Amino acid sequence: GLVEGLFAAEQITSRGPTSTERQAATAVIDALVSLPISGGVRPLYARVDLLEGDEGQPLLLELELAEPSLFFAQAPEAADRLIEAVIARMPQRD
């Protein structure tokens, strides 16, 4: 149903990518990192949404670089991974 007349409610579940999906997602992130605006830095978070094409090939639907929920309910260990990644990117103090 609609939530306040704007969006349909979602039921989010987790699943791992197939090897083909993982390869496609890696190629998308690699392409992003190759753009001059990225400075060659990989994003701390990215969600690559794919669809299956007519011939079974993965097609990019959406590249999400910001996600308010970060899906911690579906992957509680993700909070620790995010914290570790942020700390690793912080400049070291002398």
36 occurs within a structural domain:
yes
12 occurs within a structural domain:
no
| Contact call for residues 74 and 12 (beta carbons, < 8 A) | yes
65 occurs within a structural domain:
yes
pLDDT digits (tens, 9 = 90+) for 36-90: 999 999 998 899 999 999 999 999 999 999 877 788 888 889 889 989 999 999 9
Look at residue 31 and tell me whether its pLDDT is greater than 60. Answer: yes
Give the pLDDT of residue 6.
64
DSSP string of 14-61, one letter each residue: --PPPHHHHHHHHHHHHHHHHSGGGTTPPPS--EEEEEE-TTS-EEEE
26 occurs within a structural domain:
yes
Q: How many domains does the chain have?
A: 1
Helix, strand, or coil (residue 63)? strand
CA 22 to chain CA centroid, Å, is 11
94 occurs within a structural domain:
no
Whole-prediction pTM: 0.71
11 occurs within a structural domain:
no
23 occurs within a structural domain:
yes
And the tokens for 71? 């899906």
Residue 27 sits in which domain range? 17-89
9 occurs within a structural domain:
no
Distance CA 87, CA 83 (A): 6
| Contact call for residues 42 and 33 (beta carbons, < 8 A) | yes
